[in-house]
Amino acid sequence: MGHILTVIRHRRAVRKNCFCAGIPWRGLVHDLSKYSPTELIPGIRYYQGNRSPNERERELFGYSKAWLHHKGRNRHHFEYWNDVNMQTHRYEPVRMPTVFAVEMFCDRVGASKVYRGKEYTDADPLNYFLRGNARAKMHPDTADDLERRLRLLAEKGEKTAFAQIRAEVKKAKREEKEARRAKKLKGSPEK
């Protein structure tokens, strides 16, 4: 029961963050795969309360089947964004689209709030990022964007951070719409 309550609290925190960031749909569909049997059963079985059940599953078997399932279905995880570089013929990280990079920010803040509880501060998500090795596995632009947003949160607080992020999301949506329009015009036959 502890795992299910943690998932519910986490999704609620992320949903709130996504609404504040201007990406409400991403908040509504965030982490729905955690209710699939592939993720839910190990989550319940390996639940410990102070860390992800995936870590325990990984300790026991050398990998986490639940994590492999999760990261392959949830575009807010930087691990999802790896593809073959046509020049090197190797899998390499690619830059995350803004909407998913912002959802990743919301996810990290939500997870910090759930796991830190009353001890949470706005610096916790940044400190977790700086302590880990995620930067080395991300596209450099994605890592820079995430760190910039986390620093803004740590230094200026949620109100300022989410206001700036909403502006970034609006700008990215506008640019995407203009790019689609230009592509459509380029592909249309001449009269």
pLDDT, tens digit (0-9, with 9 covering 90-100), for 9-63 = 999 999 999 999 999 999 999 999 999 999 999 999 999 988 889 999 999 999 9
CA nearest to 20, candidates 122, 151, 162, 149? 162
Residue 71, helix vs strand vs coil? helix
Q: What is the pTM of this model?
A: 0.91
Confidence of residue 5 (pLDDT cuts 50, 70, 90): very high
Identify any residues that bridge with 13 across adjacent strands, giving them in sequence order: none
Picking from 75, 66, 78, 65, the residue whose alpha carbon sits closest to that of residue 39 is 66
Check if the beta carbon of residue 115 is closer than 8 Å to that of residue 26.
no
Q: SS3 of 51, please?
A: coil
pLDDT bin (cut points 50, 70, 90) of residue 186 is confident
Residue of 180, 189, 94, 190 whose CA lies nearest to 142: 94
Q: What is the rounded CA–CA span in Å between residue 103 and residue 52? A: 19
Please tell me the distance from the alpha carbon of residue 157 to that of residue 154, in angstroms, as a whole number.
Answer: 6
Show me where the domains of the chain are located.
75-187
